[in-house]
Structure 1
Amino acid sequence: MTTPEPAAPDPVPEESLPTGVERRLHPLSWLFVLIAQLKQFLVPLIALLFFGGRGNGYQMMPAMIAVAVIALLSLWRYFTYRYRIGSDSVFVRSGLFERSLRQVPFSRIHDVAVHQSLLHRMFEVAEVRLESASGNRPEARMQVLRLDEALALERLVRRRGEAAPATDAAADAAEGDLLLALPTPEVVRLGLVSNRGMVVVAGAFALAWQVLPERTVGHAIARLGREAFGYAGGLGGDWIGRGVAIAALVLLALVLVRLLSVALALVQYHGFRLEQHGRRLTVGRGLLTRRRNSVPRRRIQAWTLREGVLHRLLSRRGLGIDTAVVEQGNEERGLSELAPIAPPATCDALVRHLLPQAAWPPPDWRPLHPHAWWRLALSGTVFALLLTAALVWHFGTWGLFGLLWIPWSAFVARQHARRAGYALDDKLVAVREGWWSRHWRFAELDKLQALQLRQSPLDRRFGMASLWLDSAGAGALAPPLRIRHLPEADARALLARIGNEVAKRRLHW
């Protein structure tokens, strides 16, 4: 069963955020700003404390002065930061000597993010970020507000930003409609199919390599490898026994990584709820740090359905979206997941609910060029030839076994080409790709920003062309929206058809 979220305080009414009245942040705002700033210098401060401060206490003075300056700046921010609600905008004023007044129209706010860490929850406060499509930073970042004020501000932006009629506004003020909730077993499945544990292990390795003394990490890995293989060799007297023991150790490492992935999924996605408030979608999740993101449905630029091997074994998929909020570094911004994991029928039902005018899944998928698999197999063939040359140079005749990669790459290319396809109607363009790991990428024609026809020399030789479609807000890890290796005539006809449809819609704007 779904674990209920902690009860939030009743949000203050909209009248408690009067129009035109400037408001301060929470009195403890400076403390949270100070902690956020210190986190950025945590590694250098620890390195200075343990490796640079031996024998002379005065060597710690620069670090102490830096902390004192950051604390003063945090207090300065609290005393100079104000915000007020206008009739159609939020105004943020900051600075004393160099003053800044920023106006953020409600209609331009793409995402309202309310974040609560454990420390936030102890003091019943929250951080609010107002995101738009411009720039690589939030339009307004309020560190921090009282929790009831934060929720009231989120609701106010939600109601005024969509310019909804009275009936919609009344519905929006009520409790949102629950579209999807992930119980604990589903979150465990999400951890099993994800690679979050491997990402953490790789990040810890990279951090240790940078922070610890030179060669320490390399020596530790070499020692661990010698002990592991020595232990495996002691379990079996022949090479079969040693091979089984090594395989068991590798399996144990994979199990531990998956358990770490499950733990991370429980921390990040505990209590996941997707709700619809009028014309806005809101997602809340998190065990230790609660995150709440809200985005208008009209701001969704593109959609992605993902399905890996483990997804298929568990009969699950994931549904993600692109919004026009720009991501910066590792900072999580905007709403990117509507269904981190769910049965395929549930994902399809969500798409049909949120895109009622589109037919999903498409009834007719059109194939690629009949010889598209030749084009896809070419890169694998070149790799096999280079690999074989290297193996022959090192191992002699035995290296010719590298040529076995050629039939394997041809088989994989055939599977990719057989499953790939595209669909187009008056509302939606969709592309499906992949065999081992599959994805479906689609977007409304209204949201397309640019079209491009691409042909390499090999494409021209085979009479093929590829069509690349660009939409705003595509993430760095999102697959491209492209239709590869079509017959050239079909690609040009498709380019003209989509271009005409996009042009007609922009004229109606």
Structure 2
Amino acid sequence: MTTTPEAAPAATPERRLHPLSWLFVLIKQLKQFIVPLIALFFFGRGDRNELWPLIGVGVLALASVWQYFTYRYRIENDRLIVRSGLLHRSLRQIPFARIHNVAVHQSLLHRMFGVAEVKLESAGGEKPEAEMRVLKLDDALALEALLRRRATSGADAAATGAAEGDGELLLQLPPAEVLRLGLISNRGLIVLGGGAAAVSQFSPRAIPNLIEPIAKFLFGYAGSHHFGPMQYAIAGLGLLAGFVILLRLFSMVLALLQYFGFALRRQDRRLTVERGLLSRLRSSVPTRRIQAWTLSEGVIHRLLKRRSLRIDTAVAGKQDDPRGLSELAPVATPQVCDALLQRLLPRAQWPLAQWNPLHANAWWRLWLPGIVFALILSAGLGWKFGAWGALGLLWLPWAAFAARQHARRAGYAIDERLVAVREGWWSRHWRFAELDKLQALKLTRSPLDRRFGMATLHLDTAGAGALAPPLRVRYLPDAEAEALYRRLAREIARRPLRW
């Protein structure tokens, strides 16, 4: 919030940012111009008009220096006060109890100068409460520790002060596990996409110009050796395998850069994650702000006997911000994930023992999208190839098999503390939340659901991420869905909301 200077508490010594903060602010502002500037420097034709963008760079530099000289902060007993601006002045008073997440970020350049960027987030609003670019690393860590202590009240504050240090280590990923994470994930596509976007900045035709001679060489080689259908098929599969291997190598490199040295610690009632090889990120959040949990495993997860554990938190801004704390275990064995949940949810019994199935005909509803897809595919192939289009109907038995497997595995469970949903067959996930964190319920029935006597119950919590699977129980028998809705409604009504 913004207040007038007259509302400020009694004066205490104010502090400035690091003397080099203006440089880091300037670099952040120039990121969107860096590729055009490089292109101008290396490929410019010497026209004076091309130098006009440099004037904008000079203006940004002056603005960055201006921000350094006008930015002040001080720490009071129960709040952080930030003052900025000279002509347009702003005074922000941020109570410690409002701060739910403290992120300390160090890029490679930050580490070279021994500084860090601090971002303070709350449960309300779309932007962080404050961003400090940059502080001396010792000051940043001291500020983080102070905010962690001050945000805890009463006896908990004394316990937090007595527990100073790194806290209890809950999970640490060795380099071998980080490489497994890269092998599991598809982060290699991010590298290729970013490289393609950067190359396109220099020339829109750069990528086609690169692919065209390679394609000509490959097809020319195949033609000169008189490849038959089998040789073309083997060559195509070889190229596909090489591409997949290249993606996985890129993915493992990116995983090392992002998750090297990953460590999850708990200090009193706060979780802290630190990770990164060149750029180090340290983020923390109170455990009471965790709204929902997601255990997931794909095909490669199961081959390597691994799972991933993510959380949703009631924190401002984008839930999928890479600087936020959303991954408690990017990769770990099922036993480690279960043990971690038992430590962090001591009042709940995880894994839940009793799972309830879906409606007996739920697989029909799950099969319906496959039927529609097969009909559209057959129609398109039939329009192009005539009677051969009927081959598209071969998708139907596979879709039916997948729907049956999904319906067989899907279900829900509920006890005195948790409500959980499991879904998926090829790629599986378990989504669950404490009953205290539920905020809203919604029971829906489509015309097709009414025809089959089914209903779907949607459960809402604060802070659900855009990429997180929905917390819902699909395709229950009508009577069972109504009974579950009434039971959860009573639980929500009698329990105090904790978020």
TM-score above 0.5: yes
CA distance in 2, matches of 1:332, 1:288: 15
Secondary structure in structure 1 of the residue aligned to 2:163? helix
Residue 432 of structure 1 deviates from its aligned partner by 0.5
Q: Compute the displacement of 1:91 (Å).
A: 0.9
Say if 2:320 and 2:326, in contact at 8 Å, map to a contact too.
no
The 5-angstrom pairing of residues 53-452 of structure 1 reads 53-60=44-51, 62-165=52-155, 167-209=158-200, 211-231=201-221, 237-328=227-318, 331-452=321-442
- Corresponding letter in the other structure for 2:14: E
SS for the counterpart of 1:173 is coil
Does structure 2 retain, via aligned residues, the 8 Å contact 1:24–1:83? yes
SS of the aligned residue for 2:171 comes to: strand
Residue 3 of structure 2 corresponds to none
Superposed displacement of residue 220, structure 1: 3.3
- In structure 1, the partner of 2:13 is 21
C-alpha distance in 1 between matches for 2:137 and 2:11:
20
Change (3 A) 1:49 1:329: farther
TM-score w.r.t. the length of structure 1 is 0.92
Structure 2 vs 1, CA of residues 123 and 202 (structure 1 numbering), >3 Å: closer, same or farther?
closer
What secondary structure sits across from 2:439 in the alignment? strand
Report the alpha carbon displacement of residue 50 of structure 1 after superposing the two structures with TM.
5.8
Q: Where do 5+ consecutive residues of structure 2 fail to align?
A: 1-9
CA distance, structure 2, for counterparts of residue 474 and residue 117 of structure 1: 28
Deviation at 1:207, TM superposition (A): 4.5
Shifted more, 130-139 versus 75-84: the winner is: 130-139
Paired residues of 1:19 and 1:87 also in contact (CA < 8 A): no
After superposition, the Cα gap between the structure-2 partners of 1:466 and 1:167, relative to the gap in structure 1 and judged at 3 Å, is same
Alpha-carbon distance in 2 for matches of 1:490, 1:254: 45
Contact 2:312 2:326 in 1 (8 A): yes
d(CA) in 2 for partners of 1:207 and 1:153? 37
**C-alpha RMSD of matched pairs (Å):** 2.1
Paired with 1:507 and 1:110, the residues of 2 have a C-alpha distance of: 17
Letter in 2 for 1:35: I
Deviations 1:143-196 (A, max 9, x none): 111111111011011111121515522343133110000001101100100000
- Aligned partner of residue 91 in structure 2, secondary structure: strand
**Number of residues paired by the alignment?**
489
| 3-state SS of paired residue (2:468) | coil
CA change 1:221–1:507 in 2 (3 A) is: closer
CA–CA separation in structure 1 for the residues paired with 2:475 and 2:153:
44
Counterpart of 1:36 in structure 2: which amino acid?
K
Letter paired with 2:21 = S
2:496 aligns to what? Answer: 506
**What is residue 4 of structure 2 aligned with on the other side?**
none
Give, in whole Å, the separation in 1 of the partners of 2:180 and 2:135: 35
For residue 23 of structure 2, the aligned residue among 31, 48, 61 is 31
Deviates more, 1:498-507 or 1:218-227: 218-227
Offset, 1:242: 2.3
C-alpha contact 1:159 1:173 (8 A) present in aligned 2: no
Relative to the length of structure 2, the TM-score reads 0.93
Decide which moves more: 444-453 or 215-224: 215-224
In 2: Cα distance, 1:221 partner to 1:373 partner = 44
* 1:230 shift after superposition: 4.2
Q: Which residue of 1 aligns with 2:479?
A: 489
Residues 355 and 329 of structure 1: is their aligned pair in 2 closer, same or farther, counting only changes over 3 Å?
closer
Alignment-mate amino acid for residue 146 of structure 2: L
| Alpha carbons 2:358, 2:407 under 8 Å: kept | yes
In the TM superposition, residue 506 of structure 1 has moved relative to its aligned partner by 2.9
CA distance in 1, matches of 2:72, 2:454: 58
Q: Is the 8 A contact 1:232 1:246 kept in 2?
A: no
Distance 1:496 1:229 in 2: 66
Q: Which residue of 2 aligns with 1:470?
A: 460
1:196/1:261 contact within 8 Å kept: yes
Letter in 2 for 1:41: F
Matched residue type, 1:277: Q
Amino acid paired to 1:344:
P
Please say if residues 235 and 241 of structure 1, whose CA atoms lie closer than 8 Å, have aligned partners that are also in contact: no
